[in-house]
Structure 1
Amino acid sequence: MFRGSSFHTIDAKGRIIVPVRFRSLIQAGGGNGVMVSKLDNGLVAYPFDEWSRIENSIMSAPQKDELMRRFIRVFIGSAAECFSDKQERILIPPPLRHYAGLEKEIVLVGVLTHFEIRSRENWDKENAQQEDDMTQAEVGAEIAKLLL
């Protein structure tokens, strides 16, 4: 499972270093790279086996709803295979970098089955929003159910 956060930089060519603790999970997932797509103003990166599971789930779901078709179009249509180079870096394509606002400082966040790639600025905003969300009783109650 992908866990924890790592603070890194993205170089001028759009390459990022994947943390060592994530590399073994990626390799166990069927390759030396990840599928990357956009979601929630950031990027999501899935090992190939997990991406295959997602695609199978999407193909088996009814696609009558306009919002679901749009999601599939954007999520799958934006996806890119990003392979590791000899220095264990992955190259993030320019359209995905632009979408996520990746310029210099980035954060890789483990989210169990995948990891997210976010700009440091957006990550700091996300953390602040989460702190605000915790003050809402119903959110706190739902989180407490997960942790108990």
Structure 2
Amino acid sequence: MKQTMLMEKYPIYTIEIGKDEIVHNTMDGILGYFQAKIDAHPIASFIALFDHYTHTKALGDKGEMNPEILDARDVVFCFGQKLPTPQMLAIRPRSIGIAEMADKFVISFLETPMPHANEAMEAWAKGLVAN
């Protein structure tokens, strides 16, 4: 798993897993895997699945899609345990992005200010790699 800065301001975690080394080798399988992990977590709450690929393609000339991306979805959920200020709503909920490429899946998520949330999402993503 790599930690990088996207666009010089977004700290993200990314893992690329070859289709020949991933436990679930379909988008639906990966989405189901993440939803099960969220449902089993004592704090996380599943919110929705978002089909980013279809959304962007439907924009026609107003949308732009990397032609190497075959499918793109987000699993939306929340780890929020506290709401000390109204501004906390600006950084919630969370999502894990799954992009399907010809030979691999790219899994990514934005770093959270909560170490236990980062640890959980990193473990979930790494759990997709077949042993």
Same fold by TM (over 0.5)? no
Higher helix share: 1
Pair member with larger Rg? 1
Give the strand-richer structure, 1 or 2.
2
Q: TM-score normalized by structure 1?
A: 0.29
